[in-house]
Amino acid sequence: MNVKMKISHPQLFFFIVQTQIGVGILSLSFSVHEEAGWDGWMSVFLGGIGIQLIILLLYALSSRYPEHILFHAMELIAGRLTGRLITTAYTIYFITVAILVLVIYKNIILTWLFPATPGWVIQLLLIISAWYLSREKLHIIVRFYVFVSALFLLVVGVLLFALGDLNPLYIFPIGHHGIGPILKGVMAAMQAMLGFSVFMFIFPYIEYKKKRDVLKTATFANLFTTAFYGITVLITMMFFSPPELKLVPQPLLYMLKTFSTPVIDRLDLIFLAMWIVSVTTSLMTYVYLASLSGAHLLKGVKRKKLTLWTSGAIFFIAMGPTNNLTISKFAEGVDYFSIVMVIVIPLLLYLLSLIRGKPSSKGGQQHETTHSS
């Protein structure tokens, strides 16, 4: 495999961060506030710590088989059949998450931006761009991610508008809700931060001198996302008083709607339109991962071709849920699915691989698996 095809550490950093940051940021303060009230910002930071622990686990698992993509390593650990079953579950999981992202963002665009545009048009435009990039090789995808990361500055920029109208008293008394609700808020926060696990699926495609550097990059990415989310949540929580935050499902957008500049009258609409890019990157990652795991299952089928099929499936299934209640139920289901796929299964696999001991890696298989990127 050509060294140039591998992705560097900065690229890995943005790959993780762009996958994590997406549609979640728009409603994060609302969802943590629902659980933990004005202590929700602590949930976000605690969520970051929780995710760090999971990253350690995922790193421990994937770094045991640095030459194989995880789907192949699973077969080595759990046997061919079980491994394939787990890979199938992951494919379904990636498609499900992609559907959720698509449905949620379509809904937000419909309510905020284009009430008269048919939903399927918005979906189609989003999924086409996701398909178009995710059919390329990984190093091309990450180049795009690095490029569009400049958009994070946009968020920082729009948050500055609110600084003059914050009331810090709204987040006091700190810790009023007690540890139980705050921990429940952690769950809600981690849901918005999903995507930190991507590094374990692409481990062989990362260029590194020492394996530990991958852990370092994943940690930095987690730090960045946690700080980014944490600050956004803190600012929106100081902007809205607690009783009002209960009524506002997309606090960040709602806050922006309040301000107008001489040039741009409605900041929220401009922000929403630009943020489509960051949401699409999350979508792209999941389409990519779904095709990656799918290609591993279906030997002989090109990954490039699979992206079309997965994108199509995602598009059609995402047309189903339109009711807000159905969507939140769906989101809840994806939460539990995520816990299983990101924590439970990696943990079991890791324990199993510890019991079995490290198998010697075979060069032939390595070649075969890395080829499909």
Binding residues for another protein, rule: CB under 8 A, are 111-118, 121, 125, 128, 165, 167, 169-170, 172-173, 176, 239-244, 247, 254, 257-260, 265-266
- Rounded-to-integer distance, Cα 185 and Cα 183, Å: 5
Token digits of residue 140: 């091309």
Checking phi first, is residue 207 left (phi over 0); if not, alpha (psi -120 to 50) or beta? Answer: beta
Q: How far is the CB of 243 from another protein (least distance, A)?
A: 4
CB 200 within 8 A of CB 67: no
Least distance from another protein to the Cβ atom of residue 253, Å: 9
Pick 49 or 121: Cβ nearer another protein: 121
Shortest separation between residue 35's beta carbon and another protein, angstroms? 19
Q: Output 66 or 119, the one with its CB closest to another protein.
A: 119
The distance of closest approach from Cβ of residue 114 to another protein in the complex, given in angstroms and rounded to an integer, is 4
From the CB of 101, what's the least distance to another protein, in Å?
21
**H or E segment and range at residue 30:** helix 24-36
- Encode 343-369: b = buried (16+ Cβ within 10 Å), e = exposed: bebbeebbeebeeeeeeeeeeeebeeb
Nearest 5°: the CA angle 348, 335, 182 is 100
Q: What is the DSSP string of 230-281?
A: HHHHHHHHHHS-HHHHTT-SSHHHHHHHH---SS-S-HHHHHHHHHHHHHHH
What minimum distance in Å lies between the beta carbon of 110 and another protein?
A: 10
Task: Choose between 69 and 158: whose C-beta lies nearer to another protein.
Answer: 158
Distance of CA 233 to the CA centre of its chain: 17
